[in-house]
Chain A
């Protein structure tokens, strides 16, 4: 940590980081897809010019617009640190979390497009109706199912058994994956990658006993067999979960355990 202090440029307060020293505000354009159900028949694009530090997040720029230019701009955000999963949006055509997308990682010379995630009903600006998404999540029973008496101590598990589903415990239910899936776009009944990821988290948990039931649900018409392996979900996931792999593992479990 002393290294940081030594690095500090003369004249600046102690503790200034490299980013703070290179602090240069630039003007970027956010091209936001607006929609107000009370006045608009169709969504439309609106450009906002906003000052931003390249190391800032898109979410920061949007909050600045909301505070200084247009208070009616509507979007969800909560933690602002990539944990709550509220601010998945389509930024420059790709699903990402606004709070994890840095301005400098996008083309700052061109307008940056920001629109709602696709495939769920648009309610206002960047807010969509998450109910069908959450319903699919609930349908796979995302909670521990056991039988018999409760043990008097914690339910033990070996590191290897835990490793089996570690990846899918990371999901924050942001819906970036499901709303990047072309099968979900055309068939909203499809459970979608997020529900399958969360089923995977329990199906491969050695402490859980509901695997059969969850597999049965995902074996249905709108379950895993709908997946066409396009990998959009894996690319979209802000948590880096190997979503397509998880779906394939569920397919394999269905084929080899039950046929």
Chain B
């Protein structure tokens, strides 16, 4: 009477906790959604990067004379517009975080000793902080009249 096929119990949370028989769970813990968000971020940032990076390459390298017209004046002209400032800022942050997260995965793959893993990641995160700081600084504080 209680569980007909139609109202058979559906999956729900808070089930009872049963220790797995005989063996203890291997010590693999984190209990956060960090890896989930990391995975989602790779895909969402990837979609945006297709537009941002390809658009960037098209403008810088192909359209209107391509790479030959890039110079101080060209950059100054573009960064006088909040639109291109935002474009470059978003691209900087997304590409850097995307690349860092990708490299973090690769370090997790290949670094065998905990020490190696630690130092490679330390190097990675330090470099990311420097790139993000410098890049953001330049985009916001760029002075088109420098040197004049």
B contact patch SS: loop
| Chain B neighbourhood of A226, CB < 8 A | 35
Report Cα–Cα, A255/B33, bound state, in Å: 10
A contact patch SS: loop
CB–CB A210/B8 < 8 A: no
| Chain B neighbourhood of A203, CB < 8 A | 11
User: Does A2 interact with chain B (Cβ within 8 Å)?
Assistant: no
CB–CB B14/A255 < 8 A: no
CB–CB B35/A221 < 8 A: yes
User: Does B15 interact with chain A (Cβ within 8 Å)?
Assistant: yes
Interfacial residues of chain A within 155-181, with CB under 8 A of chain B in the complex:
155-158, 161
Residue of B15, B35, B40, B110 touching A212 (CB-CB under 8 A): B15
If the complex has contacts A145-B18, A212-B15, A225-B35, are A206 and B9 also in contact, measured as CB distance less than 8 A? Answer: yes
Interface membership of chain B positions 1-40, coded 1 if the CB is closer than 8 angstroms to chain A and 0 otherwise: 0111110111111111110111101101111011110111
What's the minimum C-beta distance from B89 to chain A, rounded to whole angstroms?
Answer: 26
Task: Identify the closest chain A residue to B109 (Cβ).
Answer: A186
Residue of B23, B35, B109 touching A219 (CB-CB under 8 A): B35
A-B contact pairs, 11 of them (CB 8 A): A135-B23, A141-B20, A209-B11, A209-B12, A211-B13, A212-B11, A220-B29, A223-B35, A225-B39, A251-B39, A254-B36
Task: Identify the closest chain A residue to B12 (Cβ).
Answer: A209
Per the CB 8 Å criterion, the residue count for chain A at the interface is 43
If the complex has contacts A223-B35, A254-B36, A259-B36, are A211 and B18 also in contact, measured as CB distance less than 8 A? Answer: no
| Chain A neighbourhood of B22, CB < 8 A | 138
Task: Identify the closest chain A residue to B13 (Cβ).
Answer: A212
User: Does A70 interact with chain B (Cβ within 8 Å)?
Assistant: no
| New A-B contacts (9) at CB < 8 Å, excluding given A135-B26, A155-B8, A259-B36 | A138-B22, A138-B23, A206-B10, A207-B9, A212-B12, A217-B25, A220-B31, A221-B35, A255-B36
Residue of B9, B23, B33, B34 touching A209 (CB-CB under 8 A): B9
Interchain Cβ contacts within 8 Å, total number: 104
User: Does A235 interact with chain B (Cβ within 8 Å)?
Assistant: no
Residue of B11, B14, B34, B38 touching A206 (CB-CB under 8 A): B11
User: Does B80 interact with chain A (Cβ within 8 Å)?
Assistant: no
What's the minimum C-beta distance from A57 to chain B, rounded to whole angstroms?
Answer: 34
Report Cα–Cα, A219/B30, bound state, in Å: 9
| Chain B neighbourhood of A161, CB < 8 A | 5, 8
Report Cα–Cα, A189/B114, bound state, in Å: 13
User: Does B116 interact with chain A (Cβ within 8 Å)?
Assistant: no
Interface membership of chain A positions 210-241, coded 1 if the CB is closer than 8 angstroms to chain B and 0 otherwise: 11110011011111011000000000000000
CB–CB B5/A221 < 8 A: no
CB–CB B39/A208 < 8 A: no
CB–CB B36/A189 < 8 A: no
CB–CB B33/A219 < 8 A: yes
Interfacial residues of chain B within 91-143, with CB under 8 A of chain A in the complex:
108-110
